[in-house]
Structure 1
Amino acid sequence: MSSLPTREPGELFGPRMTLFADVLSVGLATAVACLPLVTAPAALSSACAVLRGAGQGQPATAGRYFAVLRRRLRVGDLAAGAVAVAGALLCVADLALAGAGLPGAPLFAVVAAAIGTGALVVGLRACARPESLTDWPAAVRAAARDAVRDPGGCGLVLLAVATAALCAWMMVPLAFLTPGPMALALTAVDVRSAGMSGS
């Protein structure tokens, strides 16, 4: 039987619980950084970068998160946030118009929902890409290629979104903690996809 990892002096919990606590603290910091809405892509991308660094031995703390985010808030990051907010508003408006009883509304609603879902998956996968730290267009192109090559990863992203939405719906205060596990899931999907393309 293998021995369990030992705790460091002064550590209350084992390493797995420490990672869980770090993910929650990064998630809370991400939720705060997302409040202006246009900062959401940069905030989520920064969370993914911090959690990716945890796999390389770097600390995954809220302090490191804010240090990464401070270097990120450029015009390109805010433009990406504005595009994301405009896309979400357009999708909601299209679905509202489809629900108004216009001719061909059921087919239009299905097409609008499919396009919105595809854009959501590509956008979230772009946030997990390392390129998103410096070049959003390159990150979106790479995420679109990943979405085509790895439909299983897209399913995992949608499952993570559904889980986060369900947690927030069941208990509203959990909405402030869901960005951390969401960023962890997106980072894991990106690492998985990179491993599959490298093999």
Structure 2
Amino acid sequence: MPTREAGEVFGPRMTLFADVLSIGLATAVACLPLVTVPAALSTACAVLRGAGRDQPVTAGRYVALLRRRSRAGDLAAGGIALAGLLLLAADLALARAGLPGAPLFAVAAAVIGGCAVLVALRACGRPESLTDWRAAVRGAGRDAVADVGGSALVLLAVATAALCAWMLLPLAFLAPGPLALALTAVDVRRSPVVLPQ
């Protein structure tokens, strides 16, 4: 059982909790331009994944890693995600306008949109998202179907983050940290465990 180091007030679990909140705040700030959301969330997952390899989980490491992510693929992923969300919002607005078949169309659009969000979030949690979004999305699509329990956990994490942000608006700036932790945990639990030789 881990013990407190000299000068440590709360112990390692509370330290990880504080680190997750600081990563969440840094991620929320990085997400403000909207097209940077996938890269920011993917970077948060990468920083939190490093905790298992004894790498520091700090906002400074997050910013340093995010700085290296300003490539065309990351901005394209953000643009596609933003366009998809705008299209879904427009489709749901048209369904509310009273068009024939609107209720069935609204359900279909919500299911398709939910599946797309699920795959996108699982892609952000994969390590491949740091270098290759296509490979991350392909792997996330396979995982979304093969790992139904993990997909349910991701949807539960999104619902929890949305509920916290709805209940108390300042929590919206901290929600990306626990969401990234949940995405990372869902991905890591599928990874094979390498035992020491």
Give the TM-score normalised by the residue count of structure 2.
0.96
Q: 1:147 is matched with which residue?
A: 144
The structural deviation recorded for 1:192 is: 1.6
Spell out, residue by residue over 1:170-191, the C-alpha distance to the aligned partner (whole angstroms, 9 max, x if none): 0000000000000000000111
Spell out, residue by residue over 1:68-116, the C-alpha distance to the aligned partner (whole angstroms, 9 max, x if none): 1011111110010000000000001001100110000011001000000
Q: Does 2:90 align with 1:87? A: no
1:10 is aligned, of 7, 18, 22, to 7
Q: Does 2:157 align with 1:173? A: no
Q: Does 2:66 align with 1:69? A: yes
Q: Does 2:155 align with 1:158? A: yes
5 Å-filtered alignment, 1:42-121, equals 42-121=39-118
Spell out, residue by residue over 1:8-56, the C-alpha distance to the aligned partner (whole angstroms, 9 max, x if none): 1121210000000000000000000000000000000000000000011
Q: 2:30 is matched with which residue?
A: 33
Query: Structure 2: where are the runs of 5+ without partners?
Result: none
2:185 is aligned, of 185, 188, 191, to 188
Spell out, residue by residue over 1:115-148, the C-alpha distance to the aligned partner (whole angstroms, 9 max, x if none): 0000000000000011000000110000000011
SS in 2 for 1:55: helix
1:125 is aligned, of 104, 122, 127, to 122
Please give the alpha-carbon distance, in whole angstroms, between the structure 2 residues aligned to 1:102 and 1:121: 28
Query: Structure 1: where are the runs of 5+ without partners?
Result: none
The structural deviation recorded for 1:155 is: 0.6
Please give the alpha-carbon distance, in whole angstroms, between the structure 2 residues aligned to 1:43 and 1:188: 17
Count of paired positions: 193
Please give the alpha-carbon distance, in whole angstroms, between the structure 2 residues aligned to 1:30 and 1:138: 23
Please give the alpha-carbon distance, in whole angstroms, between the structure 2 residues aligned to 1:165 and 1:193: 25
The structural deviation recorded for 1:5 is: 3.2
Please give the alpha-carbon distance, in whole angstroms, between the structure 2 residues aligned to 1:192 and 1:121: 17
Please give the alpha-carbon distance, in whole angstroms, between the structure 1 residues aligned to 2:84 and 2:189: 28
